Structure 1
Amino acid sequence: MTFRILLVPGVNPDRWLRVWAERLRDVPVELVHASPDEAVPLLRSGGADVALVRLPAAGDDLSTMPLYTESTVVVVPKDHVFSVVEEIDAADLDDELLVVPLDDQLHWADAPGTRFAGDPVPTTADAVELVAAGVGVLVLPQSLGRLHQRRGLVARVVRDAPGSAVGLAWVTDRYDDLTEEFIGIVRGRTATSSRGRGAPAPEPTPPTPRGKGSGGSATGKGTSGKAATGRKSSAKGSATPRTRKPRPR
């Protein structure tokens, strides 16, 4: 039995996989890679148990859990004016030519600048090639910027641009114990939590002993009570002897 996790480009599950390996050593993980357009259909068809995707993931049959929102970056040639700063404002893109690939994951409908009017650009990788050739700039989620990093290009954060939300998705009707376990790991649930098959069973608490025998050792009344005080022995054994008067002869 394996647990299959579908990933879209740019998403890194390493920190969760390490925890999974510690808690569920008998259940290996299989990573399934898919393009953003293929991810949800593949999840629905049973190609994966859960998916780390960019939100929203449409469909009434799916359950989703937002995880984090990525910053947006602009990728430009190394000699571009943006390369001398760490961050820019969205308004700084007004005079730029924007290359928007068909697999765009930012979906920034009102992005400033002028859109590239040449032939359609099929993929983000193709858009990066155009930017490297000096044709326009590319805005995309930060993790995709790292994924496509190459010599001669730099990425700078666009402060007030919309971010890209990443979340966990699964088919609601196929929710099971392993899915719950992974959700718990992603949420930071500890191994000792009562939920999830990876949690160890709690150790039974020994019952509190009751009765006279145990009460003596616990409270000091049984063993160290009357016998310890010497009252009983002094009453009969160790009392001062009485002096008898001599009888008259």
Structure 2
Amino acid sequence: MQVNPSFRLAYVPGVTPGKWARVWGERLPDVPLDLVAVPSTEGERTLREGEAEVGLIRLPVDKDVLSAIPLYTETTVVVFPKDHWLAAAEEVALADLAEEVVFHPLDDTLGLTADTLPGRPAIARPDTTEDAVELVAANVGVLLVPQSLARLHHRRDLTYRPVPEAPQSRVALAWPQEATTDLVEEFIGIVRGRTVNSSRGRGAGAAAEAQPKGDPKKAAAQRKPQQQKPGGQKAGGQKAAGQRGGGQKPGAQRSGAPKGRGQAAAKKGKPKRRS
């Protein structure tokens, strides 16, 4: 028994591949799509080592090894306790964080460094963003993250505000350059919003095979010219001529209608001008 090959899609925290996975299932139901959740720092390595065919990961990546299509840029937010003084603002400036302890987790997704991190650094760097959120909940400091991660690690006692001046994270579809297969092209088309007919991959071929084929006999009948009666007149032409002539035979005149009656009636109906 032959087992259908699967297609593996890696994705990092904060990315939701559900909408693309649904389209894949509709277009290629014979190819299972395996979703592989990986840490934020493991997206590129996962693709390099062949543990997934494509990945929804965060930039930057090594362009000499991976091809990447940027998809969207996330808003950066600062996470803090609900009773924090920052909650009074709609947006937060980097200068507002100057006196705050700002956590810098080891799986940072914003590309922050010791020199670019705003505020005061914590004594130690948390291992993960999730660990940093726990410290924020303990009212020890605040945290800068992409908005999707703030939602992923949502807590009732925490809130967040956008920080327009902060660095931002970009999400991209990436895959190894030397492994651009038909299935990879199919997923690229799905992410880019191509229809089934415009797709370059297997889904387009399947859609073409699914199109109903026309009936050759019916098509030939439609192309066949109408049969004409002797004398070059099409069938039904005499009836049409009769309708135009009021149903009378050629040369016949309606009985009881004297010649010129219509003209006399026209003159009689014309009003005379009074003197």
Do both share a fold (TM > 0.5)? yes
Q: Which residue is equivalent to 1:68?
A: 72
Identity of aligned residues (%): 51
Greater RCO between the two (CA within 8 Å, min separation 6)?
1
Whether 1:45 and 2:55 are equivalent positions in the alignment is: no
Q: Distance in 1 between matches of 2:71 and 2:142?
A: 28
Q: Distance in 1 between matches of 2:229 and 2:111?
A: 81
Q: Which residue is equivalent to 1:82?
A: 86
> Which residue of the other structure, out of 150, 170, 173, is the alignment partner of 1:145?
150
Q: Which residue is equivalent to 1:4?
A: 8
> Which residue of the other structure, out of 164, 167, 185, is the alignment partner of 1:162?
167
Q: Structure 1: which amino acid aligns with 2:83?
A: D
Residues 1:139 and 1:227: Cα distance change in structure 2 (over 3 Å): closer
Whether 1:129 and 2:134 are equivalent positions in the alignment is: yes
Residue segments in structure 2 that go unaligned for 5+ positions in a row: 239-249, 252-275
Q: Which residue is equivalent to 1:102?
A: 106
Residue segments in structure 1 that go unaligned for 5+ positions in a row: 231-238, 241-249
Give the match's secondary structure for 1:63: strand
Contact preservation (8 Å) 2:7, 2:32: yes
Give the match's secondary structure for 1:9: coil
Q: Which digits, 9 at most, give the CA deviation of each residue in 1:194-222, with x for residues without a partner?
A: 52211211566789869xx83447xxxx5
> Which residue of the other structure, out of 118, 122, 129, is the alignment partner of 1:112?
118
Contact preservation (8 Å) 1:97, 1:114: yes
Give the match's secondary structure for 2:73: strand
Task: Tell me how far 1:41 sits from its aligned partner.
Answer: 1.6
Task: Tell me how far 1:38 sits from its aligned partner.
Answer: 2.1
Contact preservation (8 Å) 1:77, 1:132: yes
Q: Distance in 1 between matches of 2:93 and 2:125?
A: 27
Q: Which digits, 9 at most, give the CA deviation of each residue in 1:140-161, with x for residues without a partner?
A: 1111111111131111111232
Residues 1:206 and 1:82: Cα distance change in structure 2 (over 3 Å): farther
Contact preservation (8 Å) 1:216, 1:223: no
Q: What is the alpha-carbon root mean square deviation over aligned residues?
A: 2.8
Q: Structure 2: which amino acid aligns with 1:154?
A: T
Q: Structure 1: which amino acid aligns with 2:34?
A: E
> Which residue of the other structure, out of 161, 168, 180, is the alignment partner of 2:185?
180
Q: Structure 2: which amino acid aligns with 1:183?
A: I
> Which residue of the other structure, out of 196, 200, 217, is the alignment partner of 1:195?
200
- State the structure with more CA Rg: 2
132-141 or 152-161: bigger deviation: 152-161
Q: Which digits, 9 at most, give the CA deviation of each residue in 1:5-33, with x for residues without a partner?
A: 01111111111111111111111111112
Q: Structure 1: which amino acid aligns with 2:76?
A: T
TM-score (norm 2): 0.74
Q: Distance in 2 between matches of 1:47 and 1:119?
A: 32
Whether 1:17 and 2:27 are equivalent positions in the alignment is: no
TM-score (norm 1): 0.81
Q: Structure 2: which amino acid aligns with 1:113?
A: G
Runs of 4+ in 1 over 4 A off after TM superposition: 202-210, 227-230
